């Protein structure tokens, strides 16, 4: 079983439908959503929606460390590298891409748009749900 962590950095992303990932050999997928805010149970303003630049800068190290721990601990108990699904290029997506990569996850770019993938991105999600390995 492979664990997929979907990163949500704004209310617009929160309202979008979750993309479906289809792995090789029909491997089972367990999905969870990580909200870029202080409290996962009672989410307030998400990182990309916060108006104050000062509050964004103050919250960034805290959120990066918590996401790093989530990915690292998921990798430890699952025995496989989790897939970190990021959408867009907002601050939360960038932070999650780097912290997730440092935590041992494989970064997946959810949209196959024209914009280049972030540095640690390893896969691009295709429209049919399959993953395409990036040529680096």
Hey, what are 81's tokens? 């590298």
Angle subtended at Cα 87 by Cα 57 and Cα 118, rounded to the nearest 5 degrees: 70
pLDDT score for 111: 80
Nearest to 59 by CA among 44, 77, 74, 73: 44
- Chain position carrying tokens 């800068």: 57
- Chain position carrying tokens 């990569």: 101
H-helix segments, 5-136: 11-15, 53-78, 91-102
User: Lowest-confidence range among 21-25, 48-52, 77-81?
Assistant: 21-25
pLDDT score for 1: 87
Q: Which pLDDT tens digit goes with each residue over 73-113?
A: 999 999 999 999 999 889 999 999 999 999 999 999 988 77
């Amino acid at each position: 079983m492979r664990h997929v962590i979907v990163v949500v950095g704004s209310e617009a992303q929160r309202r979008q439908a979750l993309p479906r990932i289809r792995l090789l050999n029909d491997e089972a997928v367990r999905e969870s959503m990580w909200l870029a805010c202080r409290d996962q149970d009672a989410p307030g303003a998400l990182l990309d929606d916060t108006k104050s630049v000062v509050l964004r800068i103050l919250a960034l190290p805290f959120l990066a460390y918590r996401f790093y721990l989530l990915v690292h601990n998921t990798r430890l108990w699952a025995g496989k590298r989790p897939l970190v699904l990021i959408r867009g290029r907002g601050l939360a997506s960038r932070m999650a891409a780097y912290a997730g990569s440092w935590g041992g996850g494989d970064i997946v770019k959810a949209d196959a748009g024209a914009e280049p993938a972030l540095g640690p991105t390893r896969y691009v999600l295709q429209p049919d749900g399959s993953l395409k390995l990036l040529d680096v």
